[in-house]
């Protein structure tokens, strides 16, 4: 079974984090949340989430994908954490999937993962991306093993793209219909 790691930092975008976890679990994809620190992580709007584990206890070799939700100051906290940068680089070097939404594609950029890739992000972060092509008119962009998306309003589409990677288009469509996503 595929395993996905979603990393939470203080100030994460709650809609993105929860939507991704929800949709992937509907698809029966194992998704594990890991917090940068001990205990409860508090979102940008002060919603408290208890991660499944702490990042310091993660064995990245056990995962097929790492996902970074955006939000502020969550993205800045992710970008400043050397463990996160190391994990993103290692996943990329192993040919595993790296995915980020909202402002978090900036973290992929800082890790060097967007070099030569097409990517998108929250509009105010697009100028900060070191990508071959910044795509401004697509909600979700997949370029090889790198998947990026624009923000809270695109979180379900982003998560469905992740489902498609592991379970195929039919499963993603089944979930889309069950969730009344069009």
Every domain of the chain and the residues it spans: 3-178
pLDDT tens for each residue of 6-37: 999 999 999 999 999 999 999 999 999 999 99
Burial 130-153 (b: 16+ CB within 10 A, else e): bbeebbeeebbbbbebbbbbbbbe
Q: Is the pLDDT of residue 132 over 90?
A: no
CA distance 157 to 142: 12
Q: Is the pLDDT of residue 163 over 90?
A: yes
Q: Is the pLDDT of residue 171 over 90?
A: yes
One of 102, 103, 104, 108 is an active-site residue; which one? 102
Give me the mean pLDDT over the 112-122 stretch. Answer: 96
Is residue 181 annotated as part of the catalytic site, yes or no? no
pLDDT-derived band of residue 99, with 50, 70 and 90 as boundaries? very high
CATH of domain 3-178: 3.40.50.880
Question: C-alpha distances in angstroms, 17 versus 56, 79, 116, 135?
Answer: 19, 17, 27, 22
- How high is the mean pLDDT of the chain? 97
Question: C-alpha distances in angstroms, 70 versus 59, 101, 108, 117, 144?
Answer: 23, 6, 11, 19, 21
């Amino acid at each position: 079974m595929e395993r996905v790691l979603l990393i939470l930092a203080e100030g994460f975008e709650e809609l993105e984090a929860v939507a991704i976890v929800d949709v992937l679990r509907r698809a029966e994809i194992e998704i594990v949340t890991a917090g940068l620190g001990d205990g409860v992580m508090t979102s940008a709007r002060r919603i408290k989430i208890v991660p499944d584990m702490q990042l310091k206890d993660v064995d990245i070799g056990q995962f097929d994908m790492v996902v970074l939700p955006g939000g502020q100051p969550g993205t800045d906290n992710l970008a400043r954490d050397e463990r996160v940068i190391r994990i993103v680089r290692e996943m990329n070097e192993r040919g595993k999937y790296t995915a980020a939404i909202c402002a978090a594609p900036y973290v992929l950029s800082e890790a060097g993962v967007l070099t030569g890739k097409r990517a998108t992000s929250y509009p105010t972060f697009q100028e900060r991306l070191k990508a071959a092509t910044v795509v401004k008119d697509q909600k979700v962009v997949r370029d090889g093993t790198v998947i990026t998306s624009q923000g809270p309003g695109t979180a379900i589409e982003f998560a469905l793209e992740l489902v498609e990677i592991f379970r195929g288009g039919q499963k993603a469509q089944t979930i889309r219909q069950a969730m009344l996503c069009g």
